[in-house]
Chain A
Amino acid sequence: MYAQLVETGVKRIKDLSEMSDQERAFQEKIDSEIKIEAKNWMPDAYRQTLIRQISQHAHSEIVGMLPEGNWVTRAPSLKRKLQLMAKIQDEAGHGLYLYSAMETLGADRDEEIAKLHNGKAKYSSIFNYPTLNWADMGAVGWLVDGAAIVNQVVLQRTSYGPYSRAMVRICKEESFHQRQGYEILLTMMRHGNQAQKDMVQDAINRLWWPSLMMFGPSDEHSPNSAQSMAWKIKRQSNDELRQRFIDQTIPQLELLGCTCPDPDLKWNADTGHYNFGEIQWSEFYEVLKGNGPCNQERVATRRKAIEDGAWVREAAVTHARKKQNKNAA
């Protein structure tokens, strides 16, 4: 999930009898699956929660370009370079869709980006992990985009119309990236030498747990989920989505001929699901707090890009004004 921990600011969910007429009409609309649109009335907390969630999602797309940008200059064939460039381009596009969706709520893109740069806004914890070998490009596509898709497929039904429509468009492209990522790994496992196979297993070992963390805290430690679910911003719980991801991913892992870095992973015939080991929640919270392996570098790179580019953006604005004046004269 690209927005793992979103504050709703709501301590307790109101039932219908406690709501004002406006609130009740809103909630009834939600309950009957009518999409909320930009001009509709909405509770302020709903608006603020969505701004936080969509901006986190957008920031994740943009920061998520960096771990891949790390390998785009070193992709090992022209085909792989082209695929990676196309993917990075799509991610920039996804960021733009999402910032636009967010702006329908009255938020300002530049202000939200400034929050990212001063550490006030979050992005997905996964992008704070380094990409250390080429197989990481496959594993990011397969596991990271795979986890994002499990989440985003559900978000296509999210209650806010502009967000929901952005998800429909984004999911189509993400599925393509995921298959490409898997194909990178499959090629290395089936046609690669031992060094390449080792790279694949190494990438999986490093990215498996961080991918599971993308779904956010477990349900019992997810105080904001109940309100998000009542508003149908979220449609399924963190643990449900995480379980679905594991169930669908393990057969793919087996097809690769790789192992899962979880000694407790075991098929449970009674439940029809995989049991899995305990996630390192202390690591998760440290990464979210900014103490992950690449947090500082990622934010610094983005901040520098925007600071170094200030003169370029000013020039564009000034030039546009000059042209406008000329046309008016």
Chain B
Amino acid sequence: MNNQTDLIEYLLRLGDSALIQGQRLCQWCGKAPALEEELALMNVGLDLVGQARNWLDYAAELLDDGRDADHLAFRRDERAYRNLLLVEQPNGDYAVTILKQFLYDAWHLQVLSGLSQSSDERIAGIAAKAVKEVTYHLRRSSEWVERLGDGTEESHKRMLAAIPEVWRFTVELTSADDSEQRLCDAGITPDAAQVAAAWQAKVSEIFASATLPAPAAPSYFYLNARRGLHTEHLGILLAEMQFLPRAYPDATW
């Protein structure tokens, strides 16, 4: 393994997570609880798919095997996808959607802030732009966790029910593998332990103000999206998302 291979893997992880989270938000189109939320969900999704394109463009350049960002997005199978398990989980009710978004945003902002200081200029540039967007995402999702957690009896109950549904997948947010450690040592990516600590602090803060109990640290989990071991949800999501480019592989759109 060299830095180049590590870097490509890392870019896929960032890009795939943003893309899959964006795809999940697309599924809310026309079904949100208020018009303002229609607007916000599509706005956040748009930011994320835009970021995904930037990361995948860069990954494709480094791969230099003739594939472009679209090829990476629409022709890789689930075993080659590198997104966080958290973001591929179904939308569920609004409590699940908001909690997923918040846990991802809180992590994402820490990662991007670190990446905006990367020794890789291209990464630093993409991250600096994305930080502005994700700052907004996190503000919004934090406020919704508080509204729902500290809202009505029912909304509180639904938030409590959402936690066990998604919390176990956060184990991926708080750990690093060897490949990520090497990138960190090279000054390209932020330190995973610092990201994890800052993420945990943000989650504790918002959960407390939302009157939600702080869950115990997530424990070992068999699945591992870094190695393409996903839940059963991703395959179906990709079947839908990739249908056209797969059905017409020679087509230009």
The residue that A89 contacts in the complex, of B46, B148, B158, with Cβ under 8 A, is: B46
State whether B250 touches A193 (Cβ < 8 A): yes
State whether A73 touches B27 (Cβ < 8 A): yes
Q: Using Cβ atoms and an 8 Å threshold, which residues of chain A touch B215?
A: none
**Nearest CB to that of B250 among chain A residues?**
A193
State whether A78 touches B33 (Cβ < 8 A): no
Mask for B27-40, Cβ within 8 A of A = 1, else 0?
10111111111110
State whether B53 touches A82 (Cβ < 8 A): yes
Mask for B1-33, Cβ within 8 A of A = 1, else 0?
000000000000000000100110011011111
> Does A279 count as interface, using CB distance less than 8 angstroms?
no
Secondary structure of the A contact surface, majority rule: helix
> Does B222 count as interface, using CB distance less than 8 angstroms?
no
State whether A305 touches B32 (Cβ < 8 A): yes
**Nearest CB to that of B42 among chain A residues?**
A89
Mask for B93-110, Cβ within 8 A of A = 1, else 0?
110000000000000000
Secondary structure of the B contact surface, majority rule: helix
Mask for B123-167, Cβ within 8 A of A = 1, else 0?
000000000000000000000001110111011001000000000
A176 CB → nearest B CB, Å: 15
State whether A77 touches B33 (Cβ < 8 A): no
A270 to B139, CA, bound (A): 63
State whether A308 touches B33 (Cβ < 8 A): yes
A75 to B245, CA, bound (A): 9
State whether A82 touches B50 (Cβ < 8 A): yes
State whether B39 touches A96 (Cβ < 8 A): yes
> Does A143 count as interface, using CB distance less than 8 angstroms?
no
A196 to B37, CA, bound (A): 34
A77 to B75, CA, bound (A): 11
Q: Using Cβ atoms and an 8 Å threshold, which residues of chain A touch B253?
A: 76-77, 80, 134, 184, 187-188
Q: Using Cβ atoms and an 8 Å threshold, which residues of chain A touch B33?
A: 305-306, 308-310, 312-313
> Does B248 count as interface, using CB distance less than 8 angstroms?
yes
Q: Which of A147-155, A223-231, A288-296, A315-323 contacts B (4 or more CB under 8 A)?
A: A315-323
Q: Using Cβ atoms and an 8 Å threshold, which residues of chain A touch B85?
A: none
Q: Supply 18 A–B pairs (Cβ within 8 Å), ascending by A.
A: A62-B30, A69-B30, A72-B29, A78-B52, A85-B22, A88-B38, A95-B35, A191-B252, A193-B248, A305-B31, A312-B37, A313-B34, A314-B152, A315-B154, A316-B147, A318-B155, A319-B146, A319-B147
State whether B251 touches A96 (Cβ < 8 A): no
State whether B35 touches A62 (Cβ < 8 A): yes
Mask for B239-253, Cβ within 8 A of A = 1, else 0?
011011100101111
> Does B45 count as interface, using CB distance less than 8 angstroms?
yes
**Which residues 218-245 in B have Cβ within 8 Å of A in the complex?**
240-241, 243-245
Among B36, B152, B158, the one with the most A-chain Cβ atoms within 10 Å of its Cβ is: B152
A69 to B42, CA, bound (A): 10
**Nearest CB to that of A67 among chain B residues?**
B30
Residues on B lying within 8 angstroms of A by beta carbon are 19, 22-23, 26-27, 29-39, 42-43, 45-46, 49-50, 52-53, 56, 69-70, 73-74, 93-94, 146-148, 150-152, 154-155, 158, 240-241, 243-245, 248, 250-253
A224 CB → nearest B CB, Å: 28
> Does A65 count as interface, using CB distance less than 8 angstroms?
yes
Assess A74 versus B240: contact at CB under 8 Å? Given A65-B38, A305-B32. Answer: yes
The residue that B151 contacts in the complex, of A68, A193, A318, with Cβ under 8 A, is: A318
State whether A315 touches B152 (Cβ < 8 A): yes
State whether A66 touches B30 (Cβ < 8 A): yes
State whether B31 touches A301 (Cβ < 8 A): yes
B76 CB → nearest A CB, Å: 13
State whether A73 touches B240 (Cβ < 8 A): yes
Q: Using Cβ atoms and an 8 Å threshold, which residues of chain B touch A187?
A: 252-253
State whether A314 touches B155 (Cβ < 8 A): yes
A56 to B120, CA, bound (A): 52
Residues on A lying within 8 angstroms of B by beta carbon are 62, 65-66, 68-69, 72-82, 85-86, 88-89, 92-93, 95-96, 99, 134, 184, 187-188, 191-193, 195-196, 301-302, 304-306, 308-316, 318-320, 322
If A72-B26, A73-B241, A77-B70 are given as contacts, then 15 extra A-B residue pairs at C-beta distance below 8 Å, sorted by A number, are: A62-B35, A66-B29, A66-B30, A76-B251, A79-B53, A79-B70, A81-B49, A85-B46, A88-B42, A92-B39, A95-B35, A312-B34, A313-B33, A316-B147, A319-B148
Q: Using Cβ atoms and an 8 Å threshold, which residues of chain A touch B46?
A: 82, 85-86, 89
Q: Using Cβ atoms and an 8 Å threshold, which residues of chain A touch B42?
A: 85, 88-89, 92
A301 to B29, CA, bound (A): 10
Assess A309 versus B243: contact at CB under 8 Å? Given A93-B39, A322-B150. Answer: no
State whether B73 touches A312 (Cβ < 8 A): no
Assess A78 versus B73: contact at CB under 8 Å? Given A73-B27, A85-B45, A92-B42. Answer: yes
5 nearest A-B residue pairs (beta carbon): A309-B33, A315-B151, A69-B29, A315-B155, A76-B244
Among A72, A93, A184, the one with the most B-chain Cβ atoms within 10 Å of its Cβ is: A72
**Nearest CB to that of B24 among chain A residues?**
A73
A193 to B158, CA, bound (A): 49
State whether B152 touches A318 (Cβ < 8 A): yes
Q: Using Cβ atoms and an 8 Å threshold, which residues of chain A touch B26?
A: 69, 72-73, 81, 85
A142 CB → nearest B CB, Å: 15
Among B30, B50, B69, B253, the one with the most A-chain Cβ atoms within 10 Å of its Cβ is: B30
